Amino acid sequence: MKQLARTPKDIGHAIREARKGQRLSQAELASRSGLWQETISKIENGVASTKMETLFDVLAALDLEIQVQPRSKGAPSSMEDLF
Amino acid sequence: MKQLARTPKDIGHAIREARKGQRLSQAELASRSGLWQETISKIENGVASTKMETLFDVLAALDLEIQVQPRSKGAPSSMEDLF
DNA sequence: AGTCATTATGATCTTTAGATCATAGAATCG
DNA sequence: CGATTCTATGATCTAAAGATCATAATGACT
């Protein structure tokens, strides 16, 4: 399951999917990553443009990592963002 | 050229490599991404744990994107970080 | 060595993410 | 339906990112 991300919203989205895939509540993820449920909510919804530090905390809690790569041709980030 | 990242430092590193690959100075990258040379320097050195918003500004300026994925087995982030 | 370009660092100020508490809204399920 | 669990939002406060200016350190090149 690889998710492209070009905006904070994309990442929030990817995080939510991963969290659900692992059957975790925001509160659980929060406690695992040393954050608050409210903060997770905001991150997932792209409300606050999180600090990297924080981002990596939740990525680690979900056992995810990030790959930096040249922009791929085709896919414009994520289809849904167009609507 | 794909670069794994599990810490802000990893990302700073990846950014610096990409910037050099494109023969840009920090000042040029800064102006392209609407930031300051000083800020780019700090990001590349992992001094300040950048906001995602800012991060995406520089990624866009370098025509990079990010992929969120499950942690790969082997490679522990980056070899150099161990020393 | 001396010059020019590039990068690092340090200070101050403003803005904002995140903590924290409270609570409103959804969703799920007996 | 009502109860419970999960998620969103709103307020206040504190810590820290980024702008901005100045300048030091480093690197390249002749």
- B61 lies in some domain: yes
pLDDT band (50, 70, 90) for residue B74: low
- A1 lies in some domain: no
pLDDT band (50, 70, 90) for residue A49: confident
Asked if the Cβ of residue A35 lies within 7 A of any atom of strand C, the reply is yes
Domain that holds residue A61: 8-65
Q: Show which residues on chain B lie within 8 Å of chain A, measured between beta carbons.
A: 1-8, 11, 14-15, 18, 49-53, 55-56, 59-60, 63-72, 77
Instruction: Kindly determine whether residue A60 and residue B6, on different chains, have CB atoms separated by under 8 Å.
Output: yes
- B76 lies in some domain: no
Q: Answer yes or no: is pLDDT of B75 > 90.
A: no
Question: In what side-by-side order are the strands of the sheet with B64-70?
Answer: A3-5, B64-70, A64-70, B3-5
- B83 lies in some domain: no
- The whole-chain average pLDDT of chain B stands at 87
Q: How far is residue B10's CA from residue A32's CA, in Å, rounded to a whole number?
A: 22
pLDDT band (50, 70, 90) for residue A80: very low
- A73 lies in some domain: no
Residue A2: predicted pLDDT:
87
- B81 lies in some domain: no
Q: How far is residue A63's CA from residue A14's CA, in Å, rounded to a whole number?
A: 13
> Chain B contacts of A6, Cβ < 8 Å?
56, 59-60, 65-66
Average of per-residue pLDDT across B10-19: 95
> Chain A contacts of B52, Cβ < 8 Å?
8, 11, 49-52, 55
A interface test, pick of B47, B66, B72, B81 with most A CB neighbours within 10 Å: B66
A33/chain B closest Cα distance in angstroms: 14
- The whole-chain average pLDDT of chain A stands at 87
Q: How many domains does chain B have?
A: 1
B 34-73, residues with C-beta < 7 Å of strand D: 34-36, 38-39, 42-43, 48-51, 53-54
Domain CATH for A55: 1.10.260.40
Q: How far is residue A53's CA from residue A35's CA, in Å, rounded to a whole number?
A: 11
Identify which of A27, A34, A83, A77 has the alpha carbon closest to the alpha carbon of residue A55: A34
